[in-house]
Amino acid sequence: MKWPSRNLRVAILAGIGVCSMTGLGFAAVPLYRMFCEATGLNGTTQRGLRAPGSVGQKITVAFDSNVAKGIPWKFQPERRSDTIDIGGRDMAFFTATNTSDHEVSGTATFNVTPTYVGKYFTKIQCFCFTQQTLKPGETVRMPVIFYVDPKILDDPDARDVQEITLSYTFYPAESPAIAAAAAKAN
């Protein structure tokens, strides 16, 4: 059997390299999100189905809202903070209003600070990574259901935290494909 020419081998290897790097590029976002969810890295929260139940201690959760350039919305929490039972299920509402004269779509991302407590903040239901489309002047009310895991009390670095900030930022959603990719990453 005769081997292909050196140039053909280099071209084949380069093609394999390009395909591999492209695949890795597409897989990077979901893999990074899974890693952050597992470790709480960068304030990434956890996802859960139900709260374990109150343990008799309280913590304050502050709510922050931001809107990126290019999205003409007024976006804010209905309450700036809430003192909740650790382990107990809680709900907060955010409102968004389209202040423009045309339909605008946006997608929210989130984070928790201090970042090292992200692994103890668990969302049951959230509007994040779901494309929201608002008509001119339209206002929507969006809930987030969450709890703070009682395991926070066992962590020597986190047990003395008195306040956790849950922050959302809305970005323009350029296309349904971008929103779909973000939803899959969540």
79-92 pLDDT per residue, tens: 999 999 999 999 99
Matching CATH number, 40-185, of 2.60.370.10, 3.90.1150.10, 2.60.40.10, 1.10.10.10: 2.60.370.10
Positive or negative CA dihedral for 174, 175, 178, 184?
positive
67-126 pLDDT per residue, tens: 998 899 999 999 999 999 999 999 999 999 999 999 999 999 888 999 889 889 989 888
Between 43 and 81, residue with greater pLDDT:
81
Predicted TM-score (pTM) of the model is 0.68
Q: Which residue has the tokens 């380069």?
A: 14
Q: Is the CB of residue 162 less than 8 Å from the CB of residue 60?
A: yes
Q: Nearest Cα to 124, choosing from 93, 148, 145?
A: 145
